């Protein structure tokens, strides 16, 4: 018997990442090749954006995806999020020239407060929310705080792009296959302060740290390369990463929904106080997923260098949270 369709909301659906992700969701790459989906697409209520959205919808129709059983265009989160099972919050304002970080936080805080409230009112009580729009961790924190009737654990932020970037740098350094790397993780904020940590990583059972054995490379090459990859892509392409961001969002949601078979992945999740990260902080942690739930990997040793890195990324997140506290 075929499965009941699920409702998937995507915001910023006419943007770059939207264009790179919708076709993959509709083809079953996110939720499985046996899972029919209804796409509920949200864009700003401006004529240009709504018109562009109609163009994307025409293209989705023209793909005749067997799993795509409905497409809706919306300009109001209250209708877009009605009964949704999955919500990918991608649309947000990028930083403009001369714009201070605090201003960006304030503009986006409004978007994510409204969207959190709308999810709270109308989404499925089991909705799985992934925030991609930057600053992703703090936007996810805002949405979670604006949706008090939904479980906190339903809200997550995207650290998977950093995780995937780290995997690919390690593969290049060791000359091994990406697919063979296990137990990689990224701690903290989706920003240059993130701490990509390969101390526990293995390749076919062998320690990656021992294989690389180069602390200077870790500190001076690996961490800056992963941390500043977003800026490097903007410098090269003139616009920010879109296909790789869409790919990471697919990976995040697929693993959360369908499980990781014991493999570690990185998700930004609300802390319950583990590793000294204050409760509710939306922080990148190693997790495994099973049965539609993520589970934090506990008991990892935090050495002095790691603690220092974790403190830096935590401080940044706490400053961001303090910057929006008056809006919540
Ligand atoms: N977490 C991560 O790893 C990454 C996050 N990003 C972030 O993702 C976001 C989207 O990136 P792009 O698609 O490249 O940007 P884009 O500018 O191409 O598209 C954003 C779309 O969102 C729409 N939008 C803005 N406010 C909205 C609202 N309140 N409701 C619904 N739609 C809204 C805009 O009209 C636009 O079509 C940016 O904030 C970017 O910085 C990008 C790459 C990686
Ligand atoms: O850096 C940016 O603006 C886009 C982004 O989040 C990334 O590529 O990691």
Q: Is 189 in the pocket of ligand 2 (CB under 6 A)?
A: no
ipTM: 0.99
pLDDT band with cut points at 50, 70 and 90 for residue 94? low
**Residue range 240-244: average pLDDT?**
94
Ligand 2 probe mutation, 224, 231, 235, 268, most atoms within 8 A of CB: 231
C-beta 240 within 6 A of ligand 1 = yes
Intervals of CATH 3.90.110.10 along the chain: 159-324
What are residue 142's phi and psi, to 5 degrees? -65, -45
Residues 6+ apart with CB under 8 A from 309: 187, 188, 193, 195, 197, 223
Q: 24-38, 49-63, 88-102, 191-205 — which is least confidently predicted?
A: 88-102
Which top CATH class is 6-157? alpha beta
Distance CA 204, CA 51 (A): 50
Distance CA 150, CA 152 (A): 6
* pLDDT tens digit sequence for 41-73: 999 999 999 999 999 999 999 999 999 999 999
Share of the chain above pLDDT 70, in %: 97
Q: Using the predicted structure, report yes or no on whether residue 107 has a pLDDT greater than 90.
A: no
Cα separations (Å) of 271 from 70, 149, 285? Answer: 36, 18, 9
**Does residue 138's CB lie within 6 angstroms of at least one atom of ligand 2?**
no
Ligand nearest to the CA of 90: 1
According to CATH, where is 3.40.50.720 located in the chain? Answer: 6-157
Q: What is the CATH class of 159-324? A: alpha beta
When pLDDT is cut at 50, 70 and 90, the band that residue 101 belongs to is low
């Amino acid at each position: 018997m075929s499965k009941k369709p699920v409702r998937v909301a995507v915001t910023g659906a006419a943007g770059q990442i939207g264009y790179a992700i919708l076709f993959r969701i509709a083809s079953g790459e996110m939720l499985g090749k046996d899972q029919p989906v209804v796409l509920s697409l949200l864009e700003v209520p401006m004529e240009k954006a709504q018109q562009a959205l109609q163009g994307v919808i025409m293209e989705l129709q023209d793909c005749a995806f067997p799993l795509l059983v409905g497409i809706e265009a919306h300009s109001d989160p209250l209708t877009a999020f009605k009964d949704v099972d999955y919500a990918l919050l991608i649309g947000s304002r990028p930083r403009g020239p001369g714009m201070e970080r605090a201003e960006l936080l304030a503009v986006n805080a409004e978007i994510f407060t409204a969207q959190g409230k709308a999810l709270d009112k109308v989404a499925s009580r089991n909705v799985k929310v992934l925030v991609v729009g930057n600053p992703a961790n703090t936007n996810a924190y805002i949405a979670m705080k604006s949706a008090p009737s939904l479980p906190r654990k339903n809200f997550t932020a995207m650290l998977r792009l950093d995780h995937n970037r780290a995997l690919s740098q390690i593969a290049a350094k060791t000359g091994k296959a990406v697919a063979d790397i296990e137990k990689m993780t990224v701690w903290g904020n989706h920003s240059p302060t993130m701490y990509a940590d390969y101390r526990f990583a293995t390749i076919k059972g062998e320690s990656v740290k021992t294989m690389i054995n180069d602390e200077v490379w870790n500190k001076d090459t690996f961490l800056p390369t992963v941390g500043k990859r977003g800026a490097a892509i903007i410098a090269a392409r003139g616009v920010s990463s879109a296909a790789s961001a869409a790919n990471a969002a697919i990976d995040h949601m697929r693993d959360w929904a369908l499980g990781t078979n014991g493999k570690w992945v990185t998700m930004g999740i609300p802390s319950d106080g583990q590793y000294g990260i204050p409760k509710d902080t939306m922080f990148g942690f190693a997790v495994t997923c099973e049965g539609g739930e993520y589970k934090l990997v506990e008991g990892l040793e935090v050495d002095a260098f790691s603690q220092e890195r974790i403190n830096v990324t935590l401080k940044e997140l706490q400053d961001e949270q303090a910057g929006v506290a008056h809006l919540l």
